[in-house]
Structure 1
Amino acid sequence: MRETGTARLPGDFRLLDALPVVAGMEISQTAFSCAHEVGLAFGDDTAAMAALVLRDIQGPLLLLDSGVNANLVNELKRLGPERLDAAGIDGRVPRYAPPDLLVEQLPVTGGADSPPDGATHSRVWIVGDSEHAEAVARPVDVGVVAATGDLRALSPSARDAISGAAVVDVLTYHGENGAWQLEVVRRGDELPGAGLLLFGTDYANPVRRLIAVYGHPLTSALGVLGEQAPEQAVQRLRSIAEGCEADGLVVLPAFEIIATIASAGDDGEYSNETTKDLIRPWVEAAAAH
């Protein structure tokens, strides 16, 4: 029996095609020079792939789109496995396999899902459908996160997987905002009260109620914020917000600061901007509390 150890993808590897059938072959050819065992299933059979993940195959997972083809046969010959673990595949496979290859048919339970591995990975793929990607990724120690919308709305465990990885490959399109959303997740700096979305909808990004004092730091004519210094405003805001969380919402006290005042200035912009030095003590007071 040959021991191949844990296969790893090169650091500069980039998956060219996220389709499971193509991805499985590409990973096998890149990460495995040989393999003691190989998994085989149809690329659209999530229950079969889950069965192979449960089996903890110590080798690549090759997937079929319709039936056995020349690429599959050639890859099996190149890998030279001693055992082929087939899930959801009928008896046609042995006819195409090398004569000395042990073929084991694994039972498939309908509706089975790939179990979460709970591991920390140095490389993570962000995909649209984790059920298909998980099976081909796990043998090469790649984590998979499924995301179809705003990346900031991911669960804490998914965000931790992304922020803790050295390499993150985004294999599905997230629009023009995807790049900066990924950067926010990678930094991991949460908002007060948890999460990355100011107005969330679930436990990962809670629904917030903002209670604010409004105005300009230099005058009380534009709101109550200007009636006191920053530290005194914090205490006043706390008393205003008291009891507002009774219905279970996360209450987030805030300063709403007027940064520009309409004015016929000399610059022709009709806007008088408040200086950063004037606003900074309010920002620091908010951050401290």
Structure 2
Amino acid sequence: MRCARPTRTLLALSVAGLLLGAAGCTSHDDAPTVAQLARSSADSVDVVAQQDPSARSVAASRALFASAPGAVVASASDAGAVRDAASAARAAHVPLLLTSDGGTPSSTPSADAGDDGDRVAAELRRLGADWYQAEGSVAVDTDVPEQDAPERGDVPEASDASRAATVVVSDRRSEAAAVATAEAAGARVVAMPDGVTDPAAAPDVVSALHDRAEHPTVLVGSAFGDLPDPQWTVRAAESGWQLPHGGQRPFDGHRYVALYGAPGAPVLGVLGEQDPAATVRRAEGTAKEYDGLGDEPVTPAMEVIATVAAGDAGADGDYSTELPASTLEPYVDAASDAGMPVILDLQPGRSDFLSQAKRYESLLAKPNVWLALDPEWRLTADQVPLQQIGSVSASEVNEVSSWLADLVRSKGLPPKAFVLHQFRLSMIQDRSSLASHPELDVLIHVDGQGSQPDKQATWKALHQDAPEGVHWGWKNFYDEDTPMLSPQQTMADVQPTPSLITYQ
């Protein structure tokens, strides 16, 4: 497997001074971020994700009704009865409760019902119900009498607190009882798209939660039981920030074409060949060449080198030139105005990735700013750039990903991409031990240069025994690839198709 160091990056040794003075601007540290502007509802998110439909119907009732004069009961297995019961529950402004079968529910206490025995009977008691209406063949072991629901005008409406809720259902058809209960309570109901289980990947859900950020949220559906942190998911959605093609999850249905380089340094990549506004236009033009070449929409992006491996130790002795955040801000701001994500790339020399990442916390606190680690330039205390190809341990990568995930979660930010550059297996040691976080989408960016057979061999080698769930990126070099692939060739020849394609 052959891949040399990128020639443009080697020239970093002679341009450190240029970079330090490039593209300065006034700091925006005092500007409010999306997370600061968004209201948190972390204490008002209920998850109704029990596997049993009867248990879910009772949990939805508990989440939406403090009390009710009655309820409508139907068997979960009788679709016709559930439809009739849903209409009756909406008309009477009361919950719809399901039994697990068509007969009398078991009177044996369950985990959902506790010591009260049957969950439906227990819920009728909790509601303070004076009656229940049965649809289809059901029977409830309760002292509450069975009768038809009163006319609508005779029934008080649900409480103001219940009416304020936003109810997200995984599927309207399978969650018909919860939908009826929510609409009976006056809640706003929004359904997930088919096949999507992560609210961050559902544009309409993100919009609804943003529009109703001051209201409590209820997530209904067994699929939501797999959400690691529902409260953060809802809080991030409430910020309202979305990718240009919708949703917040970076690599769920999205592809990016990015320009790579450092501000004011053309020798390090095409990003540095023009000012921020022109970089935006060039990135848009490059990405446009990929339109129609795949099933996923294409978004232009930037990958900006924030710390540059240096040929001398420097005042701090780490062989890395750390650009001030103020130098990077014009690119971040221009990209943000254009709806583009920005990836900050770290080349730490003898420093460590976490120390350098923390330097840019103010930028990483922005929703469109992501992070990349470049292990080629992570050196030990006795190494010097250009004399060795560096490497990083999985434990150090995990320290960075944990810190970044904590930042995302604590500030209510949308998920971020976490990019790991690699063109040799040795560059990320013990790669199988890389940690995963719901706040981050991990992408391995294969950034070798040279002949296409060599690049393809590297691509295939790095895919072997890769961690489950990672995404993949590919780099095209204008000068060093022999030849550089066209957009059509990149999409056809690089398989699986990369989620991130950068140009240097």
Question: More displaced, 138-147 or 45-54?
Answer: 138-147
Amino acid at match of 1:183: R
1:154 and 2:199 aligned: no
Measured after TM superposition, the shift of residue 29 of structure 1 is 7.6
Quick one: which amino acid aligns to residue 104 of structure 2? G
Counterpart CA distance in 1 for 2:96 and 2:211 is 26
Task: State yes or no: 1:130 paired with 2:175.
Answer: yes
On the 8 A contact 2:67/2:128 being kept in 1, the answer is no
In structure 2, list runs of 5 or more residues that go unmatched.
1-42, 108-116, 151-162, 339-504
In structure 1, the residue matched to 2:450 is: none
SS at match of 1:258: strand
| Residue of structure 2 in register with 1:230 after alignment | 276
Classify 1:287/1:279 alpha carbon distance in 2 versus 1 (closer, same or farther; 3 Å): same
Preserved contact between residue 151 and residue 178 of structure 1 (Cα < 8 Å): no
The residue number in structure 1 matching 2:304 is 257
Question: Cα distance, 1:196 vs. partner?
Answer: 1.9
Structure 1: runs of 5+ lacking an equivalent = 1-10, 105-120, 202-206
Q: Give deviations 1:231-272, integer Å, cap 9, x for gaps.
A: 232333344344431436533222221111123344354432
Shift in Å at residue 223 of structure 1?
A: 0.8
Which position in structure 2 is the counterpart of 1:88?
136
Contact 1:130 1:144 in 2 (8 A): no
Q: CA deviation at 1:277?
A: 1.0
Q: Distance in 1 between matches of 2:229 and 2:64?
A: 33
Deviations 1:123-180 (A, max 9, x none): 0345666344223333222345566732211251x33333333111456444444433
C-alpha RMSD of matched pairs (Å): 4.1
CA separation of 1:265 and 1:50: change in aligned 2, threshold 3 A: farther
Q: 1:9-58, CA deviations, whole angstroms, 9 ceiling, x for partnerless residues? A: xx9897899623643774798322x35xx412124545432321134340
Measured at CA, do residues 152 and 60 of structure 1 come closer, stay the same or move farther in structure 2, by a change above 3 Å? closer
| Alignment correspondent of 1:218 | 264
Alignment pair present for 1:167 and 2:229: no
Partner of 1:51: 84
Contact 1:49 1:135 in 2 (8 A): no
Q: TM-score scaled by structure 1?
A: 0.66
- Write the letter of the residue equivalent to 1:122: A
Name the residue aligned to 2:500.
none
Alpha-carbon separation, structure 2, partners of 1:250 and 1:189? 18
What pairs up with 1:57-72 in 2 under 5 angstroms? 57-58=91-92, 59-65=94-100, 67=104
The code of the aligned residue for 2:257 comes to I
Kept in 1, the 8 Å contact 2:45–2:217? The answer is no
One-letter amino acid of the structure 1 residue matched with residue 262 of structure 2: H
What residue is the counterpart of 1:40 in the other structure? 73
Provide the aligned length of Structure 1 versus Structure 2.
Answer: 249
* Contact 1:20-1:136 within 8 A present in 2 as well: no
Indicate conservation of the 8 Å contact 1:23/1:136, yes or no: no
Say if 1:226 and 1:197 are closer, same or farther in 2 by CA, change over 3 A: same
| Counterpart secondary structure, 1:212 | strand
Q: How far apart are 1:217 and its partner, in Å?
A: 0.8
Provide the C-alpha distance between the structure 2 equivalents of 1:140 and 1:196, rounded to a whole number of angstroms: 29
Partner of 1:259, secondary structure, is: strand
**What residue is the counterpart of 1:79 in the other structure?**
129
1:280 aligned partner, one-letter code: E
Superposed CA offset, 1:58-115 (max 9, x none): 033343345166976794896334xx5422216x67x98749x4599xxxxxxxxxxx
Specify the alignment match of 2:185 in structure 1.
140
Contact conserved, 2:46 with 2:219, CA < 8 A, in 1? no
- C-alpha distance in structure 2 between counterparts of 1:222 and 1:174, whole Å: 43
- Shift of the 43–262 alpha-carbon distance from structure 1 to 2, 3 Å rule, reads same
Cα distance 1:15–1:57, how it changes in 2: closer, same or farther (>3 A)? farther
Q: Does 1:283 align with 2:332?
A: yes
- Corresponding residue of 1:267: 316
Matches within 5 A, 1:94-109: 98=145, 101-102=147-148
RCO comparison, higher one (Cα < 8 Å, 6+)? 2
Aligned 8 A contact 2:48 2:56 in 1 = no
Task: Answer whether contact 1:127 1:170 (CA < 8 A) is retained.
Answer: yes
Please give the alpha-carbon distance, in whole angstroms, between the structure 2 residues aligned to 1:13 and 1:241: 38
> Structure 1 residue 211: deviation in Å?
2.5
Match of 1:247 in 2: 293
User: What is residue 113 of structure 1 aligned with on the other side?
Assistant: none
Helix, strand or coil for the counterpart of 2:66? helix
Paired letter, 1:195: G
8 Å CA contact retained: 1:133, 1:144: no
User: 2:45, 2:218 within 8 Å by CA — same for their partners in 1?
Assistant: no
**Secondary structure of 1:257's aligned partner:** strand
Note if 1:194 corresponds to 2:235. Answer: no
- How many angstroms apart in 2 are the aligned matches of 1:178 and 1:103? 36
Paired AA for residue 20 in structure 1: R
Question: Secondary structure, in 3 states, of the residue corresponding to 1:254?
Answer: strand
Identity percentage of aligned residues: 26
- Given that residues 261 and 304 in structure 2 are in contact (C-alpha distance below 8 angstroms), is that contact kept between their aligned partners in structure 1? yes
Judged with a 3 Å threshold, the aligned counterparts in structure 2 of structure 1 residues 85 and 227 are, in CA distance, closer, same or farther, namely: same
User: Contact between 1:150 and 1:174, CA under 8 Å: does it hold in 2?
Assistant: no
